[in-house]
Amino acid sequence: MGDDELIIGHRNSEWTGLGPIMEEDIAFSSMAQDKIGHSWALYRILHEELSGEDPDQFAFMRGEKDFKCCHLTEMPIGSYDFSLMRHFLFDHAETVRYNSLLQSSFLPLQQLARKVRGELKYHTLHADAWIIQLCRAGEESYLKMQTALDNCFQLACGIFEAGPDDKLLANEKVYPGEESLYEQWIENIYPVLVKASLNMPERKEPAFGGRYGKHTAYLQPLLDEMGEVFRLNPEATW
Amino acid sequence: MNDSLDPRINRLKLNKTDDPCKVEEGENWNIFEVFHQEKRGAHHEHVGCVHAPDAGLALVFAKEQFGRRKKCVNLWVVRSADILAFDVEDEDMFANNLEKTYRDASGFKVMEKINKFKAQAKSASDK
């Protein structure tokens, strides 16, 4: 979860200063910051509750193979239709995941889920408004959004790749497991797609591998850039 | 002229100076005035404007533009064109306001009455 949020947060921040209009630039950048904030909160839980590394070291010093993010988050920003569709699919998935954590047996995650609920509500409101708006804005616009959905969908299904301990986590009631989250996600995005008259593609070959450290060629260059300043002096205090 | 690094600048096609400027459908967005409410029950105060294709997206934009720093519990957006206002030249209607001091609420000596009432209530409860 933390890696997904760090990487998509970094990706979406690449739009800062280049957004289609000023108001959207501010909103999208602000949400990218939220994502990085969520990853920091998760890395802190790892650090404080599960004796993980220092959050900054963990974020900036790890190699590609130690990252567990899904392929969807790694893809370059492309054009705005792609980035918006990714934002829509990812943030609905994130919402489903955090909502499930409201009942988590692991208290720190339960508390975090309560804390980010309002932020996520805004993120999906923003995404839904744009998707519906652009799908009703003429043929060219509609076709771009349908193409973006077709391009994103197998990648987005890859969010729900079960990790090695999926069953254990579900049995311990930490969270309900990937398959259950996937079903809830489909249930949540479907009404929005209907409103936007978009056709939901079939799940064929989800882009799996990320949860086991297998990544696309786009991740390493992102990590190089993201950690460039930090690695000048990893001991520095920020 | 070279292309800018900023796609928003390039979209303005500033280097094609001879062609007449044509506004495509959907390019002309509305301006919406934004009103901010700091706590439940408080007045909504005007804080600025956003431009957006419709009221829904105006609210979405306003949230990040005006609701992300100080305390905020709600926002209103109103299409600027829907606001009725006086013309600038009608400012003279208000010109003599300062002379009409009898309209100032400061003329009423209410505090004396309140204090008297409080003193009465206190002495009544003391008995």
Predicted confidence (pLDDT) per residue in A88-99, tens digit: 999 999 999 999
Looking at residues A32-46, what average pLDDT do you find? 97
Res B41 pLDDT > 60? yes
Looking at residues B51-68, what average pLDDT do you find? 92
Are the beta carbons of A27 and B7 separated by less than 8 Å? no
Cα dist from A94 to A8, A9, A39, A88, A101, whole Å: 12, 13, 12, 10, 11
Residue B106 C-alpha, separation from nearest chain A C-alpha, in angstroms: 44
d(CA B21, CA B44): 39
* Geometric angle at alpha carbon A114, from A109 and A117, rounded to 5°: 115
Q: Which chain B residues touch A24 with a CB distance below 8 Å?
A: 61
Are the beta carbons of A26 and B60 separated by less than 8 Å? no
Select from A18, A122, A133 the Cβ nearest to the Cβ of B63. A122
Q: Which chain A residues touch B8 with a CB distance below 8 Å?
A: 18, 20-22
d(CA A151, CA B72): 38
Sorting pLDDT into bands at 50, 70 and 90, what band is B21? Answer: low
Average pLDDT across chain A, whole number: 96
Residue B70 C-alpha, separation from nearest chain A C-alpha, in angstroms: 15
Are the beta carbons of A138 and B6 separated by less than 8 Å? no
Reading the block at residue A41, the tokens are 């909160």
Residue A216 C-alpha, separation from nearest chain B C-alpha, in angstroms: 27
- Could you write out the DSSP letters of every residue in B40-61? TTSPEEEEEEEEESSHHHHHHH
Res A119 pLDDT > 70? yes
Sorting pLDDT into bands at 50, 70 and 90, what band is B125? Answer: confident
Res A61 pLDDT > 90? yes
Determine the pLDDT at residue A208.
Answer: 97
Determine the pLDDT at residue B27.
Answer: 65
Res B12 pLDDT > 80? no
Res A238 pLDDT > 80? no
Looking at residues A190-197, what average pLDDT do you find? 98
Sorting pLDDT into bands at 50, 70 and 90, what band is B70? Answer: confident
Determine the pLDDT at residue A116.
Answer: 97
Sorting pLDDT into bands at 50, 70 and 90, what band is B92? Answer: confident
Among A12, A15, A23, most B C-beta atoms within 10 A, so best to mutate, is A23
List of domains in chain A: 2-232 (1.20.1260.10)
Determine the pLDDT at residue B5.
Answer: 72
Average pLDDT across chain B, whole number: 84
Neighbours of A214 (CB within 10 A): 12
Residue B6 C-alpha, separation from nearest chain A C-alpha, in angstroms: 6
Select from B7, B50, B56 the Cβ nearest to the Cβ of A23. B50
For the whole prediction, is pTM greater than 0.95?
no
Select from A26, A129, A137 the Cβ nearest to the Cβ of B64. A26
Looking at residues B54-79, what average pLDDT do you find? 93
Determine the pLDDT at residue A188.
Answer: 98
Q: Which residue of A has its CA nearest to B62?
A: A23
Determine the pLDDT at residue A221.
Answer: 97
Q: Which residue of A has its CA nearest to B67?
A: A27
Res B1 pLDDT > 60? no
Q: Mind listing the pLDDT tens digit for each residue in A201-219?
A: 999 999 999 999 999 999 9
Determine the pLDDT at residue A142.
Answer: 97
Q: How big is the A-B interface in CB pairs under 8 Å?
A: 42
Q: Mind listing the pLDDT tens digit for each residue in A136-187?
A: 989 999 999 999 999 999 999 999 999 999 999 999 999 999 999 999 999 9
Q: Which chain A residues touch B73 with a CB distance below 8 Å?
A: none
Look-up of token digits 């900036």:
A60
Are the beta carbons of A26 and B7 separated by less than 8 Å? no
Determine the pLDDT at residue B23.
Answer: 64
Looking at residues A10-30, what average pLDDT do you find? 94
Determine the pLDDT at residue A199.
Answer: 97
Cα dist from B60 to A17, A125, B50, B104, B116, whole Å: 19, 8, 10, 41, 52
